Amino acid sequence: MDGNESGDLEEPDELFQTVDETGGDDIFANRELLNIDHVPDENRIVGRDKHITELANEVGPAVTGSPPNSVILYGKTGSGKSLVANHVMERAWNEADRRGKRLATVTVDCAQAKGEADTIQTIAESINTPSSGVKVPTRGISTNEYYNRLWNILNQEYDAALITLDEVDRLGDDNVLMLLSRAREAGKVDVPIGIISISNKVNFREQMTERVKSSLGHNETIFDPYDGEQLREILENRKDAFHDGVLNPGVIPKTAALAAQRHGDARKAIRLLRHAGDYAKNNNIGEVTEDHLELAQEQAEVERLKELIAGLPPHSKYILYALANLTNNAEDNVWFRTTVIYDIYKKVCNVEGTDTLTTDTIRGLLSELAFLEVTESNQEHGGMGKGTYKEHRLLWEPNVVFKMDPDPAHVDIDQ
């Protein structure tokens, strides 16, 4: 008799008790639908028909091997820019294929790419084919040589190309845009290239040199944040993430309303719904109700904030406590000078029973917090002969900051 006899198999391991036959659990039927990276099917893209058509009109000639127009897509995060660009590129590829044309399509996340050579390497590698005979090593060749190899691949293997540069403002300079957009004109490549640039910064175009501006043309599309109705529809389309009857009817409208009021970001709205589901699951509640949303939201923000500052020294948390105390105590102006924050920070350290760091170190930590967008900093001018000084404000709710610890330091500001 060994341990594999059926008698043993019938004993469930409680560790996996919530996992059902389909790999889901009692709340989620398909949690994947609420993953941020999940790309919805075409019929699940809500409220962007106009943007899709406009973009398709601009890049459309590429499906016949003719020169497409380049386009810049602007809008806040989570407004569907990448989704629309990828969707249009995919359909363009299919249509080109149907017409017997070879269309190269590729997206590069410029925030991930480490500079010009890496960006071109990524493009060349992802459109390369075994038949091109071109090698695209990850290192060891010059930037110029990466361009040459890209041109070779395009010339040999394709009739046209659509290249999406996501977060294009992170490229640092104009070189990539300049060389890609002018490659054909400069006789480097025979294949027409359309560039879809995506940016969250509405003034991005102003930063470009005149030459790049004129090569890229003037096609710009703005993506407004979603309104409550659009967010509601986006969420409704993913409700099969949950088992039937688990999601109370008011949850999606409330999630959409909260998200519309705060940011209009589809990604955050979907994440909030997922957190509400997780909350119900982790607390064995069996259903998702409207009340869970606020709780889930706060819990999610606390987790996110902890993640953000995890790599910083512990004193960055004490600075945040100082700022949270100051913000809670302030009537309206929530900007505070470094020296004011430092005074309260000393009180926090006192409560925490730890020594204080120097003002310079605290300044450095405040810069890091601003870089992570936990706080925001401003250079202020003190007026004639008074020099400049910095002011800071908390970008997170003080409540969320205080919830990072079971026993956070509340201090008396006025004493």
| CB contact at 8 A, 320 and 401 | yes
Q: Does the annotation place 226 within a ligand binding site?
A: yes
Does 156 sit near ligand ATP (CB under 6 A)?
A: no
Q: Give the pair of three-digit tokens for residue 188.
A: 């480097």
Count Cβ atoms within 10 A of the Cβ of residue 348 and give its class: 0-12 exposed, 13-18 middle, 19 or more buried: buried
How many residues lie near ligand ATP (CB under 6 A)?
Answer: 22
Which residues on neighbouring strands pair with residue 109, listed in sequence order?
166
Distance (Å, whole) CA 412 – CA 357: 20
Among 25, 26, 30, 38, binds ligand ATP (CB under 6 A): 38
Of 37-45, 141-149, 326-334, 336-344, the window that binds ligand ATP (rule: CB under 6 A) is 37-45
Residue 382 burial by Cβ neighbours in a 10 Å radius (0-12, 13-18, 19+): exposed
Minimum distance, C-beta of residue 87 to ligand ATP, in the bound complex (Å): 9
- Report if residue 266 touches ligand ATP, rule: CB under 6 A: yes
* Identity of the residue, 84 or 288, whose beta carbon is nearer to ligand ATP in the bound complex: 84
Contact mark string toward ligand ATP, 197..216, x via CB under 6 A: ---x----------------
Q: Can you tell me which of 40, 65, 253, 313 binds ligand ATP, judged by CB under 6 A? A: 40
**Does 76 show up as a binding residue in the annotation?**
no
Asked if residues 362 and 292 have their Cβ atoms less than 8 Å apart, the reply is no
**Cβ-based nearer residue to ligand ATP, 43 or 358:** 43
DSSP H helices, 249-336, are 251-262, 266-282, 290-309, 315-329
Residue 79 found at the interface with ligand ATP (CB under 6 A): yes
Selected range binding ligand ATP among 44-52, 59-67, 143-151, 178-186, rule: CB under 6 A: 44-52
| Helix (H/G/I), strand (E/B), else coil: 2 | coil
Among 18, 26, 44, 170, binds ligand ATP (CB under 6 A): 44
- Indicate the angle between helix axes 116-127 and 143-157, nearest 10 degrees: 20
Q: Indicate the pairing of strand 71-75 with strand 220-223.
A: parallel
Nearer Cβ to ligand ATP, position 79 or 132? 79
The answer to whether 150 is a known ligand-binding residue is no
Per DSSP, the three-state class of 98 is helix
* CB nearer to ligand ATP: pick between 81 and 347: 81
Q: By CB under 6 A, which span of 73-81, 151-159, 334-342, 370-378 interacts with ligand ATP?
A: 73-81
- How far is it, in rounded angstroms, from Cα 249 to Cα 251? 6
Q: Could you count the other beta carbons within 10 Å of the beta carbon of residue 330?
A: 14
In whole angstroms, what is the distance from residue 227 CA to residue 235 CA?
12
239 binds ligand ATP (CB under 6 A): no
The residues that touch ligand ATP, with contacts defined as CB under 6 A, are 38-40, 44-48, 75, 77-83, 200, 223, 234, 266-267, 270
